[in-house]
Amino acid sequence: MRALVKSGPGPGLEMAEVPEPVCGPGDVLIRVRRAGLCGTDLHIHDWDEWAATTIRPPMIVGHEFFGEVIEVGEDVPAGSIAVGDAVSGEGHIVCGHCRNCRAGRKHLCINTIGVGVNRDGAFAEYVAIPAGNAYVQPSDLDPDLGAIFDPFGNATHTALQWPMVGDDVLITGAGPIGVMAVAIARHAGARHVVVSDPSAYRRALAQAAGADLVIDPTRDRLRDAQRRLGMREGFDIALEMSGAAAAVEELIDNMNHGGRVALLGLPKGPFPIAWGSVITHMLTIKGIYGREMFETWYAMSAMLQTSPALANAIASVITHRVPAADWEQAFAIARSGECGKVVMNWED
Ligand code: NAD
Ligand code: ZN
C-alpha cells in the first residue's frame, strides 16, 4: 500500500510502498479515506528536538483520520463494530491496566501510546488500531468532518471543561483548535468570546466562527478589548490554544478573581508565570491533553446533531483539501499558517 513514511532519523518524509498492516485479534483494519494534518506531523517531518527524542523510524505518520472498517479481529466483541462501519480514529491507545484506566479515566492513562507517533499511523491507505479506538460515525457523515474529530475533540475537551453559560471567555490562539473552540463556546452559552491571534487570516476564521471581538496581540491589549465589550472585572474562563508564553502572561493578568484557565497549547519550553497573581486572584489552571474517552466523542456527535450552526462552523475550519499524492503541497499549506485545517484525501 501507499504510505507517508519517516524512513530514518533526519528531516523529510517519503511516499513509499509498504506492506499492509495486519489486523490483530483485538483490532480493526480501516481503509483510510481522509486524514487531517496536525502540527505534530510538521514536527516529525522537520525532525526537531521533540521528534528526534520521540519518534523511532521507520514509522508511518498521521493520527487524524476517518475511514471504513474492512476487517474485524476475531476477539472483538460481536455487535460492537462491523465491516462497513464508518469510523474516526481515537489516536491515543491506552493500556487498560494502570490506575486511571481501571478507574475508567482512560484519557489519564500513564502508558498512552500515540498512533502516528509511537506506532504506525494513518497517512496510508490502511491502518490497524484496537477496535476500542475506532469511533463509529453515522454512515452519512461528511468524510472530511470525520477526519477532524481528533482536533475537534481537543477543542471540545478544553471548552467544555467548565460550564460557561453567561461567562466572558478568552481564547488565545486561533489555529484550527482555537477556531473550533469559539464555535463550541458560543454553543455552550458564553456571553462574550474574545480571541487573540497575530495572524489576520486566522482572526478572520475566528470571527466567522462567532467571536465577538478578535485582537492582534502584537498591537492590541486584552484590557482594551474588555473595555470595548463593557466587561469590568476580567475573563471568567480562558482557553489557551497557542502555546505562546506571551499569550499566557497577558491571559493571567486579565482574568477575573476565581477565573478558570484551561491550557491546551503546548509551549516550546518552560517559561515564567506570575504565580503571585495566580494565588491572590485564586485562579484555577488545568492542563488538557487529548480527548476524554469517550465522553468528549459523544459530546461532539451530540453537538453536531443538535446545532446546524455549530456543524457549519466546525466544517468551515477545513480550508484545504488535497489529494494524498500531493502531500508535499498539503504540508506546505499547513506550514504557511494561511489555512485552517488541511485534509488529505487518501482515495485520490
Ligand atoms: P496552530 O499552531 O495551528 O495554532 C496556534 C495559533 O496560535 C496560531 O494561529 C498562531 O498564530 C497563534 N499564536 C501565536 N502566538 C500567539 C500569541 N502570542 N497570542 C495568541 N495567539 C498566538 O495549532 P492548533 O493545531 O490549533 O493547536 C493549538 C495548540 O494546541 C498548539 O500549541 C498545539 O501544539 C496544541 N495541541 C495540544 C494538544 C493537547 O492534547 N494538549 C493537542 C493538539 C494540539
Ligand atoms: Zn492506562
> Domains of the chain: which residue ranges?
2-148+317-345, 155-287
Stretch 314-341: mean pLDDT: 98
Q: Which fold has domain 2-148+317-345?
A: Quinone Oxidoreductase; Chain A, domain 1 (3.90.180)
Ligand 2 center from residue 237 Cα (angstroms) = 30
pLDDT in tens, 38-49: 999 999 999 999
Which DSSP letter does residue 21 get?
Answer: P
How many Cα neighbours within 13 Å face the side chain of 171?
Answer: 35
| Residue 92 alpha carbon to ligand 2 centre in Å | 11
Q: Which ligand is nearest to the CA of 265?
A: 1
Catalytic positions are: 40, 43
**Ligand 1 atom closest to residue 243's alpha carbon, by position in its atom list:** 32
Give the pLDDT mean for 261-268: 97
pLDDT on residue 281:
98
Question: Residue 287: left if φ>0, alpha if ψ -120 to 50, beta else—which one?
Answer: beta
Question: Who lines ligand 1 at CB under 6 A?
Answer: 39, 151, 154, 172-178, 196-199, 202, 217, 241-244, 246-247, 264-266, 288-290
Query: Which CATH number is associated with domain 155-287?
Result: 3.40.50.720
- For ligand 1, mutation pick of 41, 117, 170, 177 (most atoms within 8 Å of CB): 177
**CA–CA gap between residue 193 and residue 21 (Å, rounded):** 44
Residue 103: Cβ within 10 Å count: 9
Task: Quote the percentage of the chain above a pLDDT of 70.
Answer: 100
Q: Which ligand is nearest to the CA of 319?
A: 1
User: What average pLDDT does the structure give for the chain?
Assistant: 98
What is the Cα–Cα distance from 271 to 334, expressed in whole angstroms? 26
Site to substitute for ligand 1 among 44, 215, 241, most atoms within 8 A of C-beta: 241
Does pTM top 0.95 for this prediction? Answer: yes
- The whole-number pLDDT of residue 232 equals 87
Reported as a pLDDT band with limits 50, 70 and 90, residue 23 is: very high
From the CA of 245, give the closest atom in ligand 1: 18
Residue 194: all three cell numbers together: 474574545
Q: What is the mean pLDDT of residues 103-132?
A: 98
